[in-house]
Amino acid sequence: VTVSDDAVIEAVSQIGDATSESTDADKVISIRPSDGTSDSVSIVIAPESILTIAESGASLEISGDVGTVSASAEVSQTLSQQTEPVSVTIQVADRESMSAVQQDAVGDRPTYQLFAVSGGQEIHDLGGTVTVSVSYTLSDGEVAESITVNYVDDDGVMHAQPTTYADGVVTFTTTHFSYYTIQSEIVPPSEEGDDMTLYIGAIVVVIVVIAIALSYTQSTRLEPEPEKPFTGAPASGTSYTETVSL
């Protein structure tokens, strides 16, 4: 799906009107393609549209059933410097695309891939922070507090990322697009006093892909009445989201 320039301009205008009298409202432009699946969601967006979002001070969010990627204004600035449309994707990773050492490092755990592409070239260094969220169901005996997302480098070495887990969702932040694995601690039922602890890993990958918007709808968490247009400014410290549905 491709996001049109007109859809972005309209979304930025709407969010600007709603936050015109607030100096500290969080602004998010969320794009949710209708053709996303449980395994993948992606968009294609022009650098000019990304710059429009960045200059508005809003975060760019791509969401689907597989997960959500939210790029800060700094990341949008980096992506807007490309000369060709940028694709952003979050998807379940194809294990055959991973090296042998990476496959060995993550084992048989769920795997996702995060990346951006422009002009046939992958964009790895983002110049800012992205926040990634994916669903994750705890196994029997799995310790929620122990869940940590790790970046898996080309040599299969793990690098821990800031991670939280709540309500069945793992959320982590990173400044680099690549493979990521979710590791956690599992405490199995003890047998004859055996207090053995096991560790398992799960991989998370996210992809950034460009798309042109065909149609869009808007929704906001700030409207006091769902059926009435928003007419006032958001309260200080609140969050305002403009959703573009494709």
Q: For CA atoms 40, 38, 94, 141, give the dihedral sign.
A: positive
pLDDT of 163 over the 50 cut? yes
Confidence band for 49, pLDDT divided at 50, 70 and 90 = very high
pLDDT, tens digit, 9 for 90 and up, residues 178-235: 888 888 887 776 654 444 444 444 444 444 343 333 333 333 333 334 444 444 445 5
Question: Between the CA of residue 95 and those of 102, 131, 171, 184, what are the distances in Å?
Answer: 9, 23, 22, 21
At residue 238, the pLDDT reads 61
Percent of the chain at pLDDT exceeding 90: 47
Give me the phi and psi of 179, to 5 degrees please. Answer: -90, 145
Residue 211 main-chain phi, psi, to 5 deg: -150, 160
Angle between helices 47-55 and 73-80 (to 10 degrees): 150
Tell me how far apart the alpha carbons of residues 127 and 193 are, in angstroms, rounded to a whole number. 50
Instruction: For residue 173, give the amino acid letter.
Output: T
Residue 237 exposed, middle or buried by CB count within 10 Å (0-12, 13-18, 19+): exposed
